[in-house]
Copies of this chain bind each other. A is one copy, B any other.
């Protein structure tokens, strides 16, 4: 990495929590400039616009959140256990970036606003859901999850429950809603887990 690229990365790492906490309209280039100890020209040498910087920051924050939430899921052999583990990871490390979930923040911030950020958030949602769908479909193929389980429904349910309970938990300053989501997801897992009888076929 040359010096220019290092500065660019440093600006992104500094600005990402600001955008995640304050939203696109609530965070000015002036705020970023001050936090990064740069002149205004210094930022515009690296980013053509606030929109470009905000987009890079969203990708940076989302990647960080997804890494933290995935943990070591690939080392777990059973699909039902993988889903349980992913819920546990989310609940115990819900906001690896200051300001809460970058996906939810950007989705709500951009849903009636910035079209580029909205597209990136939608892509982030789809990538996350696709990984969950793969876990469920893998489980069906290996007989760990009941045949005929709607993997899209399970993935949507998991994302909705986790994001919604994170919103409540952040409002209340308590992990109670996240813990409740984890407990309630057991009902969904109980419904889709193949029973021993089926596994022994």
Known A22-B113, A104-B108: A157·B161 in contact at CB below 8 Å: yes
Q: Which residues of B contact A53 (CB under 8 A)?
A: none
Would you call A36 an interface residue if the criterion is a C-beta within 8 Å of the partner chain's C-beta atoms? no
Out of B118, B156, B163, B164, which one reaches A180, CB within 8 Å? B156
- Check if A171 sits within 8 Å of B125, measured CB to CB: yes
Q: Which residues of B contact A108 (CB under 8 A)?
A: 100, 104-105, 108-109, 167
Q: Which residues of B contact A22 (CB under 8 A)?
A: 25, 112-113
| Copy total for this chain | 2
- Check if A165 sits within 8 Å of B171, measured CB to CB: no
Known A23-B25, A99-B112, A183-B153: A164·B171 in contact at CB below 8 Å: no
Q: Which bucket holds chain A's interface residue count?
A: 35 or more
Query: In the bound complex, how far is the Cα of B105 from the Cα of A150, in angstroms?
Result: 30
Query: In the bound complex, how far is the Cα of B183 from the Cα of A163, in angstroms?
Result: 18
Chain B's closest residue to A163 (CB) is B164
Query: In the bound complex, how far is the Cα of B188 from the Cα of A177, in angstroms?
Result: 15
Chain B's closest residue to A122 (CB) is B171
Chain B's closest residue to A18 (CB) is B112
Query: In the bound complex, how far is the Cα of B112 from the Cα of A183, in angstroms?
Result: 28
Q: Which residues of B contact A83 (CB under 8 A)?
A: none
Chain B's closest residue to A101 (CB) is B108
Would you call A176 an interface residue if the criterion is a C-beta within 8 Å of the partner chain's C-beta atoms? yes
Q: Which residues of B contact A188 (CB under 8 A)?
A: 184, 187-188
Query: In the bound complex, how far is the Cα of B99 from the Cα of A187, in angstroms?
Result: 32
Contact with B along A12-33 (1 / 0, CB 8 A): 0000000001111110000000
> 3 closest A-B pairs (Cβ-Cβ)?
A160-B164, A164-B164, A160-B165
